[in-house]
Structure 1
Amino acid sequence: MGKYILNVPNMSCEHCVMRISKALEEISEENFKINLEEKIVEIETNNLEKVKEKLSEIDYPISEVKEL
């Protein structure tokens, strides 16, 4: 399982945080923290591509990925 920091520049409010949380839970991701101030999602996942696709699908594309 990899740990990543995902930059999500389109995230701007608590509604965005709720939408991202719901989308990640829909694809069975549980180990994540969303930091609205820094516009990042810290996530532990086995399927980074699925996460990236899901966030793009709901109009929150990832601009950068850092592996921890």
Structure 2
Amino acid sequence: MPREITWNDAEEIGIQLQEKFPDLDPLSVRFTDLHKHVTELEGFADDPSKSNESKLEAIQMAWYEEYKDAQ
């Protein structure tokens, strides 16, 4: 079982999102969809209501870095 992740684990979430959605440009994802993707990750163990714009933005940027590296 993967370790539990929370909203504060932006880098780990970015890696997992890149693995799950390798062809999806993170900058094209709306925050509502990003929130859904994060809460559905295996190992996600945080309160879905504890996200905010800055946490989602940090996750999106971490995911984007992984996305660029994979191109």
Same fold (TM over 0.5): no
TM norm structure 1: 0.37
- If the length of structure 2 is used for normalisation, what is the TM-score? 0.36
Q: Which structure shows the bigger proportion of residues in helix conformation? A: 2
